[in-house]
Structure 1
């Protein structure tokens, strides 16, 4: 029995409606994901610096004691930026007696993994680092975008690790960056990404092109890395190698790492990346021996909400001793900021703030006055 034309027309129209709704949902999902990434990519405080997470096999007292020490060491490295800090005698002693710094601890079941999670007194640990003349790395840290291309060792095809891929390395990257207290986003892997950056672009480590085509993510740094088998002329044998670049559009760092597994290479890379950032942004005790005062003229601060956001940023800086609103003229708010680092060092730290833009011109009195424009809501 044939269906009537009227029934077929209604079914066709209903199918079209469902198709339109499905397309609208897909567009909305991609838009939401892109918006979320864009919002997340802004330099923001890393809030888990005083927390440590260690995978364990049981909840015994012995395991808790061992994991507690490891979690404390993890936090020490997060707050300092350099794993060699664990060789300090007083830090070793503190790790043995980590309970003195412990605020709370618990066991969390995450899938098939049992995790010991501990929270420590951050202020007390920072005091320990400063007492030992060791660097302290504040909560505001650069955001980064990580383009990673991996070559198949059989067919030599190259593929990108993205949020939309089913790569086994996504969880590893997330855990490794957590362990070091840094933010490293993975590309979404949508149509825009595939049109802008290909696996071959990343494999070629074309830093300038990749950086320029990653603007949509708004991160402070863009990182490109490739992993594959290379022939070592010196040993006349093949080896697994990760080659990478780190750039902020003005400077670039490159290096090569050799290892036995891709997972091991990725972990080594994250450690090198974190160490590089710490070398630029962590503050040494030798830098904090004097007090410096600078005036910040910030334009486009024309609402109370903007004023509060600017004030929150300035007061949250590790180097800040005191912040005061000196004057307000139309939309320009003038702050006096007292810090324990020179002005040039302060500028480097403030460059992490996406909403604060320093003009291209240089003031004659730039050693004591800095102009900025607020570009947020």
Structure 2
């Protein structure tokens, strides 16, 4: 029978000192869902829409439209019903939509079979500050805006599975920032009024007239560490005929950047690892940890290999590298490092390569 012991009181203090995870990633629950406009409920129209819906789901989970050219994906697109969980019809603003849900585990298995990269459900949260051309002067896009660009940003984010926030733009924010700060890419000023938002990344987006076209630019920063000389993590710019085209190009480029950092492909190599969690006080916590690990896109197989007191070690077979796996752990807000590698009583596997010990925090 498993028995979990309570840690001494000083352990709680040590946890507070050593916790390093400050990310605010969110779980995206729509990676196996899509909506497609249809002209009718006729069977041929339905079949065409289901194929388009599965295409959207593949792109959400792989990050690239190029994945649709894969021969295994092409074969599956000819038979989307075999992955279908359910579908139905909804009407929005006079437009009939087919809404389809596919079995996410089988979608991921298909992508692995096709040797395509997969990004899991935990994804970083991005706060967007967007300066748009207005009537005579630039304006900032707010979360409550009724402009078409607000809905377009939501659709683009949903289609790529990129969680996002827009600022409230209340009086305090408007006194601390103006569109020129965003257009000038003054990230330190923008960051100074963004403290209330629990986001991982800060995206500054500027769209402004340039001759007969529009010039757009996007700079991405880690929200937690910005000053006047901080270079962007990622930058993208170009020209477009419309604001909609510019937003679409930037969101596609940003999605490609995120997927290059977080999506994990199967290298075909046998990669083994172990991960240890301390301070597990109940069997329910152990079950939650194991459930979480099993759904990670980086893990092929998981085995509970060691229990000592309230410290538990799992043995893993991985897709990709151990670094890829650790990057995914850093995105989970319920996980933090309770002790760095090789610290005394926390090193549960003697004579093994020192690893950090993680803490599972209940929401």
User: What's the TM-score once normalised by structure 2's chain length?
Assistant: 0.79
Contact conserved, 1:223 with 1:247, CA < 8 A, in 2? yes
Runs (5+) with no aligned partner, structure 1: 1-40, 231-236
CA distance in 1 between partners of 2:362 and 2:171 (Å): 28
Deviations 1:51-101 (A, max 9, x none): 121122222223212211111111111111111111122222221222222
CA distance in 2 between partners of 1:93 and 1:314 (Å): 30
Name the structure 2 match of 1:350: 329
Helix, strand or coil for the counterpart of 1:296?
A: strand
Instruction: Select 1:223's aligned residue among 177, 195, 203.
Output: 203
Tell which structure's C-alpha radius of gyration is larger.
Answer: 1
Name the structure 1 match of 2:117: 135
Compared with structure 1, are the counterparts of its residues 269 and 302 closer, same or farther at alpha carbon in structure 2 (3 Å cutoff)?
A: same
CA distance in 1 between partners of 2:64 and 2:190 (Å): 28
Contact conserved, 1:130 with 1:285, CA < 8 A, in 2? yes
Name the structure 2 match of 1:158: 138
Runs (5+) with no aligned partner, structure 2: 1-22, 226-231
Name the structure 1 match of 2:164: 184
Name the structure 2 match of 1:96: 78
Contact conserved, 1:314 with 1:323, CA < 8 A, in 2? no
- What does 1:168-207 correspond to in 2, within 5 Å? 168-207=148-187
Higher RCO (Cα < 8 Å, 6 or more apart): 2
Deviations 1:331-373 (A, max 9, x none): x744325140433222211221234334796659996512345
CA distance in 1 between partners of 2:188 and 2:50 (Å): 43
Compared with structure 1, are the counterparts of its residues 360 and 220 closer, same or farther at alpha carbon in structure 2 (3 Å cutoff)?
A: farther
Name the structure 2 match of 1:272: 253
Offset, 1:326: 3.9
Instruction: Select 2:316's aligned residue among 329, 333, 338.
Output: 338
CA distance in 1 between partners of 2:263 and 2:293 (Å): 17
When the two chains are superposed, the root-mean-square deviation of aligned CA atoms in Å is: 2.9
Compared with structure 1, are the counterparts of its residues 375 and 188 closer, same or farther at alpha carbon in structure 2 (3 Å cutoff)?
A: farther
> Is structure 2 residue 66 aligned with structure 1 residue 84?
yes
Offset, 1:238: 4.0
Deviations 1:100-140 (A, max 9, x none): 22222211112322111112232333222222211122111
> Is structure 2 residue 355 aligned with structure 1 residue 369?
yes
Deviations 1:178-218 (A, max 9, x none): 11122112222223433454322222222344345424222
> Is structure 2 residue 287 aligned with structure 1 residue 313?
no
Alignment length (residue pairs):
325
Contact conserved, 1:142 with 1:183, CA < 8 A, in 2? yes
Compared with structure 1, are the counterparts of its residues 336 and 110 closer, same or farther at alpha carbon in structure 2 (3 Å cutoff)?
A: same
Offset, 1:227: 0.7
Compared with structure 1, are the counterparts of its residues 147 and 339 closer, same or farther at alpha carbon in structure 2 (3 Å cutoff)?
A: farther
CA distance in 2 between partners of 1:196 and 1:352 (Å): 30
Offset, 1:243: 0.3
CA distance in 1 between partners of 2:193 and 2:220 (Å): 15
Compared with structure 1, are the counterparts of its residues 368 and 209 closer, same or farther at alpha carbon in structure 2 (3 Å cutoff)?
A: farther
> Is structure 2 residue 222 aligned with structure 1 residue 240?
no
Instruction: Select 2:29's aligned residue among 29, 36, 47.
Output: 47
Contact conserved, 2:340 with 2:355, CA < 8 A, in 1? no
Compared with structure 1, are the counterparts of its residues 99 and 308 closer, same or farther at alpha carbon in structure 2 (3 Å cutoff)?
A: closer
Compared with structure 1, are the counterparts of its residues 191 and 310 closer, same or farther at alpha carbon in structure 2 (3 Å cutoff)?
A: farther
